[in-house]
Structure 1
Amino acid sequence: MRFADSKTLLSFFLFLSAFALPACSSDDDPKSQTPELGVISIRSQATADGQFTYSINGSFAENFDVSSAECTTRTEGACTISKCKATGGDGGLEKYLPAGTLTVSGGLLAASGVVLQPDADNFYHKVESGKAWNPGQRISVKSSGAQVPAFEVSVSTPDTLTLEAPAVPAKDQAMSIKRSTGLELRWSGAKETKYVTLFTTDATGAGNPNVSVSCTFPANANTTSIPASALNELPAGETYLFASARNQATTLVNGKSVALHARAVARSRSGEPVQRNVTLE
């Protein structure tokens, strides 16, 4: 995607994945809604050799919505299709707001928690080695407050699912998807997971505008599909594919919702994390 830097892409991914989940849906709060002020995402990833890493990303904006990213969206079943202008600079996204210090605690994290400070652009980002949680534990985020007032929110943690279909080969082997036939999805291991998200985006920036397809399904469905009509919105060529288990909770800050996502990157049958480049035919 044609964004100025990886920071903007991370925030854009937070925005798109949050928007894909229907309003009033959460594993913890039936009054949860699509984020209006910001998103914090805690992502766990297991590698084929059994090692773990986790990352924490967060951003806040006055208008954390479609217009702030200069995007048009439509739904196709469980999928949200977004077409966004390639504007350069910050990609057209809102300027970020500070929320003070973020302290992430719970799960298998140290008792003192993991502390994040905003960078010069008020974006929050940290990557750590180790396992962040066991499925069914709770993770909490507490902010000290700044331009975004203080808040606290917690969520239950998901499983690391196995994506049975499509078959994902080893990372050094090519993978292709035929847009004309749609994409069958099948997974296992969803005991503590509420949602499964599969996200694809124009990875090379060859399309104009940038196009992303983000699909969110109830985890207990186990088998479903992405229609060809959604996949055909993406241009042929290289695409980035990401699949994860996801639980979400929200809290209100001055009447606007802030979401907390706990994600576990799905594994293929061979144990590889499902986050890779693929070719759309």
Structure 2
Amino acid sequence: MSDAILSADARGAKAGRATGPAARGDLSFFRTTITAMAVVLVSGFVLQLAMARSSFGAPLVVHLHAVVFMGWVAILVTQAWLAAGGGVKLHRTLGAVAVVWMLAMLVLGPLVTIASVRTGRVPFFFQPQHFVLANIITLLGAFGLFAAALVLRKNRDWHPRLQIGAFTLLMGPGFGRILPMPFLKPYAFEIATGVAVIVPLIGLVRDWRVRGRPHPVWLWTIAVLAGTLILARVLAFSPVGAVIFAAVTTGSPAAHTDGLIYPKPPF
């Protein structure tokens, strides 16, 4: 048995993967990181509910989006714990479910965003024209990292880190419900989403200390996070953004309004 383990470790080392105690340490780190991210995300929503700033009286599409989004988070957390505990078979089964869940998010995410803009329910610290583009572009960035994780699902170094990277780009709604958003204008969206950079930075430092070098995935995550935020802002304040906003709001109460004017705060 020991010879078999040593042989497997040797093959893993040759392939550039962490093996033995290092691999087990990685799994524990991934589990802890994903769990902590989920706790922060859920805490943001719970905080707003406890302060009576949100309620369950939202349109059906919002509830569907919440179920799909939180369902994906629950699947990701469960997968992390299964991988750390040796439940590889169920981990892979849930991975197939996660793919369907992410595809549903790609549909419901833009639907909720567009519905919010059309019905005038954009939070008063976001500019509607920027809000619609930033939400969708960030989601696409997360999907790109998730798709890369799916392609590299057999690579034990890249796959879990890419999953964390995808989750990082979706942390904005959680941080945005904890941070003092009204005081962060005009960069409220960038700050709420960008503060999640702490996750890949922690991963980068941890890998540097444990493995002797930062893993490329953390750098890719930071690049995609920054790239989506920059692209969204550039497009939102360009003629392209105005055209997209006009198309999104056609036939709604928000039609023919200036998408770069902040909505009025609630009473």
TM bin (shorter chain): under 0.3
More helix by share: 2
TM-score by length of 2: 0.25
More strand by share: 1
TM-score by length of 1: 0.24
